Amino acid sequence: MKTRVLTKLAMAISGAAMLCSTAMAEEPVRGGTLVTTLPQTPRHLNPAVQSGIVTGAPGAQLFAAPLRYDEDWTPQPYLAESWEWSDDGLSMTLKLVQDARFHDGEPITSEDVAFSVDTIKANHPFKTMFGVVETVETPDAHTAVLKLSQPHPALLLAMSSQLMPIIPKHIYGDGQDPKAHPRNGQDVVGSGPFKFVEFTADQQVILERNGDFFIEGRPYLDRIVYRIIKDASARAIGMENGELHMTTFENTVRNIKRMSENENLVATDEGYAAIGPINWLAFNTGSDGPLADKRVRQAIAYAVDKKFILDAIMLGLSQEAKTGIHPGSPLYYPDVNGYDLDLDKANALLDEAGYPADSSGTRFSLTIDHGNPTTKPQAEFTKASLAKIGIDVTVNSFVDFPTWANKISNHDFDMTWDTVFNWGDPVIGVHRTYDSQNIKEGVIWSNTQQYKNAEIDRIMGEAGQEIDPEKRAALYKEFQEILAEDLPVYWTNTLPYHTIYSNKVGNPPLGIWASSSPYDLVFLKE
Amino acid sequence: MGGTFYGVLMNILKVLAQRLSYALALLIAVLVLNFTMINLAPGDVVDTIAADMGGASAELMEQIHTEYGLDKPIIVQLGNYVWRVLQFDLGHSYFYNRPVTEMIFERLPATLLLVFSAQIFALILGILLGVFAAIRPNGILSHIVTLFALFGYAAPVFWTGILLLIAFSLNIPLFPVAGMRDVTIDGGFFPQALSVAHHLVLPMLSLGSIFIALYSRLCRASMLEVLGSDYIRTAKAKGLSPRDVTLKHGLKNALPPVVTLAGLQFSAVISGAVLVESVFSWPGLGQLALTSILARDTPTILGILFFSALVVIIGNLLTDLALRLIDPRIRKST
């Protein structure tokens, strides 16, 4: 199977597609300083050795990746002008664009690609991304061949800015530990559309236009200032009074509502499908208690009204999530049981599971923990809902993350509300929750539910290696059907992530990677 | 005059020496106690590093534990830490991977600016309001002052901050919403200083608002007490103007309790700064403290507590000296 992409044609089509889909007939203007936000201080700016959205956003401007994505999940050429699977799916050949240079003027070569893959593989927390890459061959300066031990379709999404920045070997290959390299946070030399100017913790990150960028005529902006503002209300006020042009990853629903009512601002939830944040109620299926029985888990799901969460807690700003794959993904399969409110069914299931109500109407008691303060309303709502079917719930709040994470990851819990991210391909962010091999004590966001199903393990193994998109989608359909029946977690909604931008901003980043995509097309109308 | 000056100087040096020995003992106690308390809580910085990365593998977490020496027994970690501090080394931040001292010195000026300006603002306004209220204790102005002061004292400082933001950044856009300076200003010292002052107004108002209440109430009470005393009656009888009586005889004697309270409140001002800095994105120690507490970044938390203790000690010392300047009785007694 060949998916050879012809350079020029693809560039022209993708460029045109991007322009048409975002800002109709709007002519981009050169110049201006975009003022945007980061909700917390990044540890540093090198996404090769640090995951997360606050490193990913400036990181995507500083470093280019082989591929980029707009809103429809189709890979587009970026630093790689073409990419090609071998027939057996065991090697991926990248052809780099000619004349691309790092910010210090050194050429970007296949050596740098090989070095970047090695560095990411050794240091990035997501081991499943490049774990199967055995070597990267460099037959010439502009050709890199990734040799795999098994077919690995997740590679395509992994080759985007958030996960595979191309970093200069002549800077980061000097023998120092890449995770603690002094150039990760200061004097960063990258390959992307913007160059490093300043990074001051708790204040700002300032980037300026790379005049020597490998895409002619871009970027349009002169500067990007990321102001680090932790308080969500302060960011909202800054948007309303015009101090800020754009803010991303906003998830406090009242602030989003307020900003969306401002006539100079546009609020949208487009752009978060690849990052894919999903809220769910997790069950400790490995406990000795009633939660080991899937009928009990189903009963709980029937009793917790998803509509209330979507309409009253999320104010209609988030989407319903019926499975562990984000609804924005092409692999999402919505025709599974969504467990809409049905107290009769819930009671019947609990009777059937052998938990009759005692004289006071109580069947059994459970605890629910929540670490993230934003999930407190869900936790309280769950307690009230489950009282209706005779389950007595105690809510435990944990203000600080490590305490909560420690309890959950050591399987010392009954239920918890949690938010987990897809991170592009299911192999990276979805499998970890359901893989019986990934029940790891002390590791948060591993399979902390202790869910074991050989059938699910088999499907994930196959789907992870299936290159044919249709066969792959079929495998994930089965995967989602089985999980919706077993219900190791009860998925309710996506996080209400929104991008809010002033109507002065042209081509806001609404592709699947939101602010972790290059801003070379963003411009300011004046 | 020379003799008195020498006497005051000796007196101050004696007090300084005594205070410094207390301070050293206090600082070590701060470190040991806090180290123990932080380590009593379950989980550690590796969990937050993992969270920051969106999840991590067991191997990576174990590797970080070993790198930071977190796999050693607590008592060994504590010993190592105190030994390093005694060599003036506050260590490396786990989370930011930078020397703690460097990060603290970067942020200390911002916090000092905020804390001192809020404290001075609250003192001046508090004393003024207190004096006015004391002149006519049952007048309408006195009641308004009391009401206003109690409101400032009762309202949570972050809430006051957000209200001020809504009023003076959004509805009447006079002040910027966040940060300490405008990054687009490139000018010399004066434009920069002006920009910082512009950014300082709202944080200073919100932090000061809690303490205005304290100072004005105390000043009012103290003034009332003084104004009822015999020497005031004498002063009035001598035919001094009401202004002179109130300010020279009244206020001067009413001031020491207010200054003492201001000194005692110093630690409260610093903890208030943590909240104010978060609301206004003021890049000081408070924000760093909040981040590192949530991240369980032990070396940074301890370093900040160490410096906060230092600032409180220095603040108290300054109060002591100020009292000596305004009240000759204290000068003579020690």
Q: Which of B39, B49, B57 to mutate to test the interface with A (most CBs of A within 10 A)?
A: B57
- Please report, for residues A62, A314, A330, B307, the alpha-carbon distance to residue A414 in angstroms, rounded to integers and kept in the order given: 43, 24, 33, 42
pLDDT higher than threshold 80 for residue A67: yes
Whether the link from the prior residue into A28 is cis, omega within 30° of 0, is no
Asked if B73 is an interface residue toward chain A (Cβ–Cβ < 8 A), one would say: no
CA A447 to chain centre: 18
pLDDT tens-digit map of B254-279: 888 888 888 888 778 888 888 899 89
Which residues in chain B touch residue A446, judged by CB atoms under 8 angstroms apart? Answer: 55, 58
- 3-state SS of A91-111 is EEEEEECCCCECCCCCECCHH
Ranges A153-162, A427-436, A510-519, B138-147: which has the least confidence = B138-147
pLDDT tens-digit map of B13-67: 887 788 788 888 888 888 888 888 888 877 788 887 777 776 777 777 887 788 7
Answer whether A237 sits within 8 Å of B166, measured CB to CB: yes
Q: How confident is the model at residue B291 (pLDDT cuts 50, 70, 90)?
A: confident
B106, B184, B280 member nearest A234 (Cβ): B280
B52, B60, B294 member nearest A52 (Cβ): B52
Exposed/middle/buried for residue B190 (C-beta within 10 Å: 0-12, 13-18, 19+): exposed
For B120-156, b/e burial (b = at least 16 CB within 10 A) is: ebbbebbbebbbbbbbeeeeeebeebbeebeebbebe
Asked if B93 is an interface residue toward chain A (Cβ–Cβ < 8 A), one would say: no
**Residue reference for tokens 């390299």:** A181
Please tell me the distance in Å from A403's CA to the nearest CA on chain B. Answer: 5
Higher pLDDT, A108 or B248: A108
Q: How confident is the model at residue A392 (pLDDT cuts 50, 70, 90)?
A: very high
**ipTM entry:** 0.78
**Residue reference for tokens 């889909």:** A21
Distance, in Å, from the CA atom of A296 to the CA atom of A273, rounded to the nearest integer, reads: 31
Do A297 and A463 meet the contact criterion of CB atoms below 8 Å apart? no
Please tell me the distance in Å from A73's CA to the nearest CA on chain B. Answer: 22
pLDDT higher than threshold 60 for residue A1: no
Q: For position A23, what pLDDT does the model report?
A: 45
Mean pLDDT of A403-422: 93
Distance, in Å, from the CA atom of A411 to the CA atom of A447, rounded to the nearest integer, reads: 10
- Please report, for residues A24, A273, A295, B196, the alpha-carbon distance to residue A14 in angstroms, rounded to integers and kept in the order given: 15, 19, 49, 45
Which residues in chain B touch residue A402, judged by CB atoms under 8 angstroms apart? Answer: 41-45, 47-48, 296
Answer whether B61 sits within 8 Å of A229, measured CB to CB: no
Torsion over CA: B168, B169, B170, B173 (sign): positive
pLDDT higher than threshold 80 for residue A443: yes
Which residue type, as a one-letter code, is found at position A311? D
Residue A312 DSSP label: I
Which residues in chain B touch residue A230, judged by CB atoms under 8 angstroms apart? Answer: 278, 281, 287
The structure tokens listed for A508 are 């806001």
Mean pLDDT of B119-138: 88
Q: For position B71, what pLDDT does the model report?
A: 82
Phi-psi domain of A85 (left: phi exceeds 0; alpha: psi -120 through 50; beta: other) = beta
Distance, in Å, from the CA atom of A428 to the CA atom of A436, rounded to the nearest integer, reads: 15
Q: Are strands A33-38 and A67-69 parallel, antiparallel or unpaired?
A: unpaired
Half-sphere exposure of B31 (CA within 13 A, CB side): 22
Residue A508 φ then ψ, to 5°: -60, 155
Distance, in Å, from the CA atom of A489 to the CA atom of A314, rounded to the nearest integer, reads: 19
Distance, in Å, from the CA atom of B36 to the CA atom of A75, rounded to the nearest integer, reads: 52
Do B296 and A406 meet the contact criterion of CB atoms below 8 Å apart? no
Answer whether B179 sits within 8 Å of A227, measured CB to CB: yes
Please tell me the distance in Å from B123's CA to the nearest CA on chain A. Answer: 28
Half-sphere exposure of A121 (CA within 13 A, CB side): 16
For A49-61, b/e burial (b = at least 16 CB within 10 A) is: bbbbbbbbbbbbb
pTM of the model: 0.86
Answer whether B183 sits within 8 Å of A206, measured CB to CB: yes
Asked if B44 is an interface residue toward chain A (Cβ–Cβ < 8 A), one would say: yes
Mean pLDDT of A75-89: 95
What percent of chain A has a predicted confidence (pLDDT) above 70? Answer: 95
Which residue type, as a one-letter code, is found at position B326? I
Higher pLDDT, B42 or A71: A71
Asked if B182 is an interface residue toward chain A (Cβ–Cβ < 8 A), one would say: no
Q: For position B3, what pLDDT does the model report?
A: 55
Q: Which of A147, A49, A165 lies closest to A517 in space, CA to CA?
A: A165
- 3-state SS of chain B is CHHHHHHHHHHHHHHHHHHHHHHHHHHHHHHHHHHHHHHHCCCCHHHHHHHHCCCCCHHHHHHHHHHCCCCCCHHHHHHHHHHHHHCCCCCECCCCCCEHHHHHHHHHHHHHHHHHHHHHHHHHHHHHHHHHHHHCCCCHHHHHHHHHHHHHHHCCHHHHHHHHHHHHHHHCCCCCCCCCCCCCCCCCHHHHHHHHHHHHHHHHHHHHHHHHHHHHHHHHHHHHHHHCCHHHHHHHHCCCCHHHHHHHHHHHHHHHHHHHHHHHCHHHHHHHHHHHHHHHCCCCHHHHHHHHHHHCCHHHHHHHHHHHHHHHHHHHHHHHHHHHHHCHHHHHHC
Q: For position B1, what pLDDT does the model report?
A: 44
pLDDT higher than threshold 50 for residue B326: yes
Distance, in Å, from the CA atom of A285 to the CA atom of A300, rounded to the nearest integer, reads: 13
Q: For position A8, what pLDDT does the model report?
A: 42
Distance, in Å, from the CA atom of B334 to the CA atom of B328, rounded to the nearest integer, reads: 11
Distance, in Å, from the CA atom of A281 to the CA atom of A303, rounded to the nearest integer, reads: 12
- Please report, for residues A5, A306, A327, the alpha-carbon distance to residue A491 in angstroms, rounded to integers and kept in the order given: 38, 9, 11
Which residues in chain A touch residue B53, judged by CB atoms under 8 angstroms apart? Answer: 50-52, 125
Asked if B104 is an interface residue toward chain A (Cβ–Cβ < 8 A), one would say: no
The string of DSSP codes covering A216-246 is: TT----SEEEEEE---HHHHHHHHHTTS-SE
Do A86 and A145 meet the contact criterion of CB atoms below 8 Å apart? no
For A260-293, b/e burial (b = at least 16 CB within 10 A) is: eebeebbbebbbbbbbbbbbbbbbbbbbeebbeb
A125, A402, A407 member nearest B53 (Cβ): A125
Distance, in Å, from the CA atom of B226 to the CA atom of B221, rounded to the nearest integer, reads: 9
Kind plus residue range of the DSSP H or E element containing A376: helix A376-387
Q: How confident is the model at residue A486 (pLDDT cuts 50, 70, 90)?
A: very high
pLDDT higher than threshold 70 for residue A6: no
Residue A275 φ then ψ, to 5°: -65, -40
Kind plus residue range of the DSSP H or E element containing A466: none
Nearest residue of A to residue B279 by CA position? A231
Ranges A247-251, A514-518, B60-64: which has the least confidence = B60-64
Q: For position B333, what pLDDT does the model report?
A: 57
Our CA dihedral for A457, A460, A464, A466, rounded to 10 degrees, sits at 110
Distance, in Å, from the CA atom of A375 to the CA atom of A314, rounded to the nearest integer, reads: 11
Kind plus residue range of the DSSP H or E element containing A365: strand A364-370
Nearest residue of A to residue B41 by CA position? A403
The structure tokens listed for B263 are 């000194």
The structure tokens listed for A76 are 């587009």
In DSSP terms, A200 is beta-bridged to A204
Q: For position A38, what pLDDT does the model report?
A: 96
Nearest residue of A to residue B60 by CA position? A125
Which residue type, as a one-letter code, is found at position A132? V
Which residues in chain A touch residue B95, judged by CB atoms under 8 angstroms apart? Answer: 43
How many CB atoms neighbour CB A423 within 10 A? 26
pLDDT tens-digit map of A99-152: 999 999 999 999 999 999 999 999 888 888 999 999 999 999 999 999 999 999
Angle at B80 between CA B77 and CA B85, to 5 degrees: 125
pLDDT tens-digit map of A296-354: 999 999 999 999 999 999 999 999 999 999 999 999 999 999 999 999 999 999 999 99
Q: Which of B127, B153, B110, B136 lies closest to B280 in space, CA to CA?
A: B110
Q: For position A448, what pLDDT does the model report?
A: 95
Do A396 and A472 meet the contact criterion of CB atoms below 8 Å apart? no
Q: For position B139, what pLDDT does the model report?
A: 83
CB pairs below 8 Å between A and B: how many? 152
Angle at B126 between CA B120 and CA B131, to 5 degrees: 130
pLDDT tens-digit map of A146-184: 999 999 999 999 999 999 999 999 999 999 999 889 999
Please tell me the distance in Å from B274's CA to the nearest CA on chain A. Answer: 13
For B80-104, b/e burial (b = at least 16 CB within 10 A) is: ebeeebeeeebbbbbbbbbbbbebb
Angle at B86 between CA B81 and CA B90, to 5 degrees: 55
Q: For position A17, what pLDDT does the model report?
A: 46
Please tell me the distance in Å from B169's CA to the nearest CA on chain A. Answer: 7
Residues 140-179 of chain B with CB under 8 A from chain A are 162, 165-166, 169-170, 173, 176-179
Distance, in Å, from the CA atom of B282 to the CA atom of B279, rounded to the nearest integer, reads: 8
Instruction: Calculate the average pLDDT of chain B.
Output: 84
Please tell me the distance in Å from A212's CA to the nearest CA on chain B. Answer: 24
Answer whether A230 sits within 8 Å of B162, measured CB to CB: no
CA A361 to chain centre: 43
Which residue type, as a one-letter code, is found at position A347? N
Instruction: Calculate the average pLDDT of chain A.
Output: 92
Nearest residue of B to residue A127 by CA position? B57
Q: For position B187, what pLDDT does the model report?
A: 72
Please tell me the distance in Å from B37's CA to the nearest CA on chain A. Answer: 14
- Please report, for residues A469, B117, B155, B159, B167, the alpha-carbon distance to residue B164 in angstroms, rounded to integers and kept in the order given: 55, 17, 12, 9, 5
- Please report, for residues A248, A393, A463, B210, B265, the alpha-carbon distance to residue B262 in angstroms, rounded to integers and kept in the order given: 42, 47, 67, 12, 5
Please tell me the distance in Å from A229's CA to the nearest CA on chain B. Answer: 6
**All domains of chain B in start order, with CATH:** 5-39+102-332 (1.10.3720.10), 42-89 (no CATH)
Distance, in Å, from the CA atom of B78 to the CA atom of B35, rounded to the nearest integer, reads: 7
Do A225 and A35 meet the contact criterion of CB atoms below 8 Å apart? yes
Mean pLDDT of A370-393: 92
Half-sphere exposure of A45 (CA within 13 A, CB side): 30
Please tell me the distance in Å from A354's CA to the nearest CA on chain B. Answer: 36
Ranges A39-43, A227-231, B38-42: which has the least confidence = B38-42
